[in-house]
Amino acid sequence: MKEFRLKKREKNNSSDTAFHIINILLFGIFTIICIYPFYYLIINTISANDLSAGGEINLIPQGIHFENYINLLQIKGLGTAALVSFGKMIIGTTLTVIASAFLGFMFTQERMWKRRFWYRFVVITMYFNAGIIPLFITMKNLHLTNNFLVYVIPTIVQPFNIILVKAYVDSLPKALQEAAEMDGAGIFKIFCKIILPTCTPILATVAIFSAVNQWNSYQDTLLYITDQKLYSLQYLLYTYINQANSLAAMIKNSSGGAISAAVLATKQTGTSIRMTVSVIVVLPILCIYPMFQRYFVKGIMIGSVKG
Amino acid sequence: MKNANTVVPSYKRKNEWRAYTYFFWIVPFLILSFLFSYFPLHGWIYSFFDYKPPRSLSQCEFVGLQWFTMLFTNKTQLSQLFQVMKNTFAMSLLNIAASFIPVVFAIFLNEIKCKWYRAFVQTFTTMPNFISWVLVYSVAFSLFSSGGMVNSILQQLGIIAEPLKFLDSDSHTYIWMLMWNVWKTLGWGAIVYLASIAGIDQEQYEAASIDGANRFQIMRNITLPALMPTFFIMLMLSIANFLNNGLDQYYVFQNAFNKEHIQVLDLYVYNIGMTGSSYSLATAISMLKSIVSVVLLTIVNVVSKRVRGETII
């Protein structure tokens, strides 16, 4: 009897182990599927360009060189696009963080005239939109098309961010503000001296979300910008990808003659340009993401409770 | 003050004054909100005109409901719209059908007891959610275009002679789009469920294992039911957004070959409005879309209130 039970447990254990191994393996595979594309892009940009264009670099970089990144500086328009992208990320994020903090705080002030109505007025805009054509016409009438401001002004008031901040301020003890009021502090002083410092965690969440959104958005360029000087990096990358085929074909045709291998290895191809720009575009995200992961998680948690 | 000459206790007057100043400070933001969310709605009147861009609206012909009737009577228009609706429904239904995957992902990830491995998996599977669709397309292009990694490996191994066309062909467009979406959002979507799992009372698990329940029974009878409320909200939200597939994903993957099956409603509106034939027709379609969406949201809200006693908005 004893022996039998022992055997049974052993059998359980082995099926248990099998389960764990399969489970760990499957998650490992999916994680690799998530990482590998980025790795693939990076190793191809630092490998010899003739090899990478031939699709021969899959696991290990070969013929390492950094010409691609140096040569990028010569590509016209890339510098301005990077500037535009950084500019809209920094300015847009700053503006929306300030606005979300202030509005989120103000909407907790019960003494405000028709507070509930105005709160709804702002939040309800999450659930409808006029559609891209009316939006385009509106932007045009406001002279925002082909204007840098179109990147940063319409994104200032973000209902979702306001909900996040408001929920956070609501959870703070009321006594904090009351004590300050006793001491004669005005609403702005309370906002700057008390609310802003205590709300840093949630404001960091808001900041990181809107920074990522600003960096990643290309629809704003697509819809409202035709002036190449105002292209964002994302949009530029999109145009590069679409040109890559013809670009690569052109380069192939012209390189029929005898060109030394050394030149070929660092010669720009459509593939190398496309991949290098991709890495430039994804690098900021890859760098900041691990550091700020907990803010992302915090953001979605509060959002899912409240939204 | 209007009622300054009536006798009002001074503290009350002060409060009233404060109520208005508080309001006054948020007015600039209310104006922004109005300008970019409410004001554009006036653009819907363009759908009742034959609007030709360089001209102003007053110079354009008022056509009444012509665009709307054309949508539903003109044969080519109707068949086009039918195809677009088919795509929209297919993509939305597939995405809804796939919405159980994050739940499974979370439940099984929770079975991994090794902490650093879990953190590792979680960190790297959420990452694709934070890159743009343009970059996803760039990745797709690097891996699956005719000179891309997959094709060159298959060719080197001699499995195929001619490169397979993954991107510039119209086969399995729905499935491809679904796969990219799952790849991008799976890890992120699972986070909500992982948090819910962390909130489950551990005593339930202990009690169950003492009663001799095996791993899968525990998953089915304890973990899964605990995740259902969150799943329900997510499901309701995706139903409310049934017609809003968004432009981002489909625009970047669109090309001349897959256009027929990739054009969801949002992309269709963009294509005929911004690049093609008619502002007015596009506005008419997006107006109908918005109205249907609001109706869907209302229905979902009512259902949610019935089922869990709480609204979604």
Residues B136 and B238 occupy one common structural domain: yes
Question: Using 50, 70 and 90 to split pLDDT, how confident is the model at B58?
Answer: confident
Residues B153 and B213 occupy one common structural domain: yes
Q: Could you say which residues from 45 to 84 on chain A have a Cβ atom under 8 Å away from some Cβ of chain B?
A: 53-56, 58
Find the range with the poorest average confidence among A135-139, A187-191, A251-255, B173-177: A251-255
Say if the Cβ atoms of B147 and A55 lie within 8 Å: yes
ipTM of the complex: 0.85
Say if the Cβ atoms of B33 and A122 lie within 8 Å: yes
- In sequence order, the β-bridge partners of residue B49 are B62
Average pLDDT on A104-123 reads 92
Report domain A78-229's class: mainly alpha
| B72, part of any domain | no
Contacts of B301 in chain A (CB under 8 A): none
Read off the CATH number of the domain in which B150 is found.
1.10.3720.10
pLDDT surpasses 70 at A9:
no
Q: Is A132 on the interface with B (CB under 8 A)?
A: yes
Whether A257 and A110 have beta carbons less than 8 Å apart is answered as: no
Q: What is the CA radius of gyration of chain A?
A: 27
Residues B121 and B257 occupy one common structural domain: yes
Domain boundaries, given as residue ranges, for chain A:
14-74+232-306, 78-229
CA distance A81 to chain B (A): 15
CB atoms within 10 A of CB A132: 22
Of B22, B149, B297, the CB nearest to A55: B149
- What is the per-residue pLDDT for A214? 94
Nearest-angstrom CA–CA distance, A204 and A165: 11
Question: Using 50, 70 and 90 to split pLDDT, how confident is the model at A246?
Answer: low
| CB contacts < 8 A (A, B) | 246
Question: Using 50, 70 and 90 to split pLDDT, how confident is the model at B8?
Answer: low
Say if the Cβ atoms of B33 and A132 lie within 8 Å: no
CB atoms within 10 A of CB B73: 9
* pLDDT tens, residue by residue, B179-204: 999 999 999 889 889 888 888 888 88
Nearest-angstrom CA–CA distance, B149 and B10: 77
| Comparison of pLDDT for B117 and A63, the residue scoring more | B117
pLDDT surpasses 90 at A83:
yes
- What is the per-residue pLDDT for A301? 65
Q: Which residue has the tokens 């007053």?
A: B58
CB atoms within 10 A of CB A275: 30
Question: Using 50, 70 and 90 to split pLDDT, how confident is the model at B26?
Answer: very high
Q: Which residues contact B147 (CB under 8 A, 6 or more apart)?
A: A53, A55, A248, A271, B163
pLDDT surpasses 50 at A225:
yes
- Give the CA dihedral B269, B274, B277, B283, nearest 10 degrees: 50
Output the CA–CA distances (angstroms, integers) from residue A228 to A77, A277, B148, B174, B191, in the order listed: 8, 17, 29, 33, 39
Q: Which residues contact A35 (CB under 8 A, 6 or more apart)?
A: B124, B127
Residues B26 and B173 occupy one common structural domain: no
Of A53, A241, A293, the CB nearest to B123: A293
Contacts of A34 in chain B (CB under 8 A): 124-125, 127-128, 183, 187
| Alpha helices by DSSP H, B112-158 | 115-126, 133-144, 149-156
Find the range with the poorest average confidence among A193-202, B6-15, B256-265: B6-15
Question: Please, what is the average pLDDT of chain A?
Answer: 83
Rounded (10°) angle between helices A270-306 and A159-171? 40
Residues B204 and B290 occupy one common structural domain: yes
* pLDDT tens, residue by residue, B269-307: 999 888 767 888 889 998 999 999 999 999 998 998 888
Nearest-angstrom CA–CA distance, A12 and A180: 63
Residues B37 and B95 occupy one common structural domain: no
Residues B42 and B110 occupy one common structural domain: no
The pair of structure tokens assigned to A126 is 């999450």
Q: Which residue has the tokens 């139903």?
A: B239
- What is the per-residue pLDDT for B72? 84
The parent domain of residue B281 ranges over 78-308
Residues B295 and B214 occupy one common structural domain: yes
CA distance A303 to chain B (A): 10
pLDDT surpasses 70 at B166:
yes
Nearest-angstrom CA–CA distance, B141 and A78: 20
The pair of structure tokens assigned to A67 is 């010409």
What is the full DSSP assignment across A13-29?
HHHHHHHHHHHHHHHHH
Question: Count of alpha carbons within 13 Å of B84, Cβ hemisphere only?
Answer: 24
- In sequence order, the β-bridge partners of residue A110 are none
pLDDT surpasses 90 at A102:
yes
Residues B84 and B58 occupy one common structural domain: no
Residues B52 and B154 occupy one common structural domain: no
CA distance B73 to chain A (A): 23
pLDDT surpasses 60 at A252:
no
Find the range with the poorest average confidence among A117-131, B28-42, B150-164: B150-164
| B313, part of any domain | no
Contacts of A28 in chain B (CB under 8 A): 121
Of B35, B130, B279, the CB nearest to A285: B130
Average pLDDT on A47-66 reads 80
Whether B150 and B237 have beta carbons less than 8 Å apart is answered as: no
| B170, part of any domain | yes
Contacts of B130 in chain A (CB under 8 A): 212, 216, 285, 289, 296
Beta strand pairing status for B49-50 and B61-62? Answer: antiparallel
Of B26, B117, B233, the CB nearest to A103: B26
**What share of chain A in percent tops pLDDT 70?**
84
Per DSSP, B163 falls in state P
Of B139, B269, B313, the CB nearest to A127: B313
